[in-house]
């Protein structure tokens, strides 16, 4: 059970959830390059810097077999 008395725990849970939610959304829209890139941009503006770094690592792995999505890496590395 998570101790919800400490705000740091709540913040951790919420940010972890946002990152996981972002990954879920990106998986679901990966059929459309334009929409995928739009969601990557949105994620960059909504996530914390360390989460953006985690997302970058995840993206690199996720798009290895999806050449049409390679351009999304430009968004996250700039």
67 CB-near residues (< 8 Å, 6+ apart):
none
pLDDT per residue of the chain (78 residues) written in tens, 0 to 9? 445 555 555 555 555 689 999 999 999 999 999 999 999 999 999 999 999 999 999 999 999 999 999 999 898 886
Domain ranges for the chain: 7-77
Task: Give the distance from CA 50 to its chain's centroid.
Answer: 11
| Distance separating the N- and C-terminal Cα atoms of the chain | 39
Q: What is the pTM of this model?
A: 0.78
């Amino acid at each position: 059970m998570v101790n919800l008395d400490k705000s740091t725990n709540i913040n951790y849970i919420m940010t972890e959830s946002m990152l996981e939610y972002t990954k879920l959304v990106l998986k679901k829209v990966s059929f459309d390059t334009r929409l995928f890139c739009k969601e990557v941009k949105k994620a960059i503006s909504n996530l914390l810097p360390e989460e953006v770094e985690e997302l970058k690592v995840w993206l690199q792995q996720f798009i290895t077999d999806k050449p049409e999505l390679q351009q999304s890496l430009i968004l996250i590395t700039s």
